[in-house]
Amino acid sequence: MSYKLSITATAVCFALAGCMGSGDGSNSYSAAEVSQNQATYDSLATRVTDGDLLVAQDPTGTASLTGQLKLDPASASDNPVAGRLAMDVDFDNSKVTGTVSQFAAYTPDLSEKMMDLKGSLSVNGTIDSKSAIVANANGTVSDDEGSITADLQLAGSVYDDNGKYVALGDVTGTGVSPDGSEQLTGTFYAQQQ
């Protein structure tokens, strides 16, 4: 069965003209993981709003964080896209680097993976003395039918979760394909293991 994949249909979203291809089939990022990561993000965001999770004060050294970058669909009936986020934060040199890989499109309720996507995004940015992250995520993601080039901005903060660092924030930007460009929005989170 072939699914129609378009920028509007996946919100990202790494959408492409024509029929939705099979992707490369090598992505192991399951719907269960994406759903759990979304629940973790929601819980962390609630804790920030409630004042239970505070911005890290005067962090030093480096931290490796892992989590998820999720791009939301333009319509509730469209498919979100998510990828694994690996982020290295160098507090001493005010630097953030990383990658987003293993992208896939999922059903709106995140219960099922629709298709794997090829490609990854490189993350590069800064973290200031108040633990605020500003970074760009750039790269090309594709399926068997075509590609989209993403230019995303990540804006958030690093929080201290009982001695472990957690990065949490918003994603905005554009995705450009041969059919035009699409505004993208979403969220990211990554936590120290």
Nearest by Cα to 17 from 4, 36, 30: 4
Query: Residue 179: what pLDDT?
Result: 87
Whole-structure pTM value:
0.86
Query: Residue 143: what pLDDT?
Result: 87
Structure tokens at 174: 């554009």
Q: What burial class does residue 89 get, using C-beta atoms within 10 Å of its C-beta: 0-12 exposed, 13-18 middle, 19+ buried?
A: buried
Query: Residue 149: what pLDDT?
Result: 95
Query: Residue 10: what pLDDT?
Result: 38
Structure tokens at 141: 């993601």
For residue 139, the one-letter residue type is: G
Backbone φ, ψ for residue 41 (5° rounding): -55, -50
Q: What's the topology of domain 3-192? A: Lipocalin (2.40.128)
**What DSSP designation does 77 have?**
T
Give the residues of the chain that fall short of pLDDT 50.
1-25
Q: How far apart are CA 164 and CA 143, in angstroms?
A: 36
Query: Residue 84: what pLDDT?
Result: 97
Tell me the pLDDT tens digit for each residue of 27-53.
Answer: 789 999 999 999 999 999 999 999 999
Query: Residue 26: what pLDDT?
Result: 58
Q: How far apart are CA 119 and CA 25, in angstroms?
A: 12
